[in-house]
Amino acid sequence: MHELAISQEVVELACRRARGARIRRIVLCIGRLSAVLPDAVQFCFNQCTEGTAADGAVLDIVEPPGLAECRACGRAVLLEKPYGVCACGSSDLDWFAGVDLTIQSVEVV
Ligand SMILES: [Zn+2]
């Protein structure tokens, strides 16, 4: 399962960043074009933190909207979902924001 692997990686990276300190909160950015399901990541998170420095930590997920540039007319297009059409009718879009999944912050106790 995709989201389980992502949760595991997030916990691992956060623990490394915390350098052994106990983690209280992790803020995760999941872009709307990343094709990752935030609910599923949230669901897997608790089982991934068991026995780690992030045990009992809260996972906050923010979902920045996607931005694309239309290859036909050059206009910037705001995307809430991983598909869309420019005002000019073209669906040939070049995504440049909201694609990534990143850890925004790790709060330690
Ligand atoms: Zn266009």
Q: Looking at residue 82, what is its pLDDT? A: 86
Q: How far is the CA of 79 from the centre of ligand 1 (A)?
A: 13
Asked whether residue 1 carries a pLDDT value surpassing 60, the answer given is no
Tally DSSP H helices, then E strands, for the chain: 2, 6
Query: What distance in angstroms lies between residue 41's CA and the mean position of ligand 1's atoms?
Result: 34
pTM of this prediction exceeds 0.95: no
Tell whether the model's pLDDT for residue 5 goes beyond 90.
Answer: yes
Query: Ligand 1 centre and the CA of 83: distance in Å?
Result: 14
pLDDT at 8 over 90: yes
Distance between CA 66 and CA 105 in Å, rounded? 20
Question: Tens of pLDDT along 25-63?
Answer: 999 999 999 989 999 999 999 999 999 999 999 999 999
CA of 88 to the centre of ligand 1 (A): 4
